[in-house]
Structure formats: structure tokens, C-alpha cells
Amino acid sequence: MVSNPESTQGNQHLSFAYFQRCIDPIFLTPLNGTTNTCAGGGCHDTVTGTGGALRLIGAAPTLDVSDPANTPAVIRAADIYKNFYSAQGMVVVGNTTQSRLVVKPLVLGVFHAGGQVFPNESDPNIKLIKYWITHPAPLGQDEFSTATYTMFTPADPKTGTCNTQ
């Protein structure tokens, strides 16, 4: 019998500020001593990639989330937001074991055409991805909620370090 319990996470949003500052750089970092990146051609590049539904624009400029000119409408129209939206699509909010963004690069019980990208679950990149997945914006608030700034120490999306616990 297939059970499909209603997800209490419902339509909870992940943090855009933490994604831009702490997760997107993971996709741009050369992997395992090669020049290859997750967002690279043949992998998850939005034009030349073959990476399933995870589609990334490697050269997407970052945006200053504390600049009032960067309204939600402006950010949602930006390339960096396309990376956010695609990566969020690879996540079950609050559940790291069911999130493809975790299990694929670790080859945790699933096939990944890109191979094993990270050695194990205590890899610093995986810790950042898991923290993003398990710290969504409060229910009813959107991906730009300033409540998510507590994911940085100090709680500043521009200067704070990315928390992982």
C-alpha cells in the first residue's frame, strides 16, 4: 500500500539569502581537483547540461538582498533566482534523506550520472546543504523573510558566516 501522508511542511520556503551566499558557491567550486563544477557544461549548466531538472547558470550575478531596490519582483526575475528555484526543486523541505540535492551527489542509495561528488555526509558542502533544507523560512513567510538571517553569524546576510548547526 502506498502511503502519501500530507506534508506538514506544506509550501514552506527555503531561504534565498542563505542559498545565494552559502549554497550557490558550492555549485561553482571546482570538484575533486578537476576544473569540473556542478554548474559546468555537460553537467548542470542550464544550456549545455544533461543534469536532469537541476539547471544552473554558473555566471549568475549575486544580488544585495539588503538593497531596497532589490524588491522580491526584481530578485525573482534574476538569473541567481533561477538557480535558487531549480535547487529548491531538488529538496523536500525539512527532509534531507528524501532530498535529491543531498542523496545524488553522495550517491546515497541512488544513481548519479555525475558520480560521487562528496565523500560522505560530514563533508562541509553537505552540511551547508542540509542546514539550508532543515531551516526554512517560518510558515507563512516567503523566501526573502529576514527571519532567515539568523542562519548567519552575526545575523547579517552580507557579512555573517554561514551557520551549519
Contact between 51 and ligand HEM by CB under 6 A: the answer reads: yes
Task: List the x/- string, 73-92, binding to ligand HEM by CB under 6 A.
Answer: -----------------x--
Contact between 31 and ligand HEM by CB under 6 A: the answer reads: yes
Candidates 17, 56, 105, 160; binder of ligand HEM (CB under 6 A) is 105
Contact between 58 and ligand HEM by CB under 6 A: the answer reads: no
Window contacting ligand HEM (CB under 6 A); options: 25-33, 67-75, 135-143, 145-153: 25-33
Instruction: Please state, in angstroms and rounded to a whole number, the distance separating the CA atoms of residues 124 and 164.
Output: 8
Candidates 45, 81, 83, 104; binder of ligand HEM (CB under 6 A) is 104
Contact between 55 and ligand HEM by CB under 6 A: the answer reads: no
Residues that bind ligand HEM (CB under 6 A): 26-27, 31, 36, 38, 42-44, 50-54, 90, 100-101, 104-105, 111-114, 117
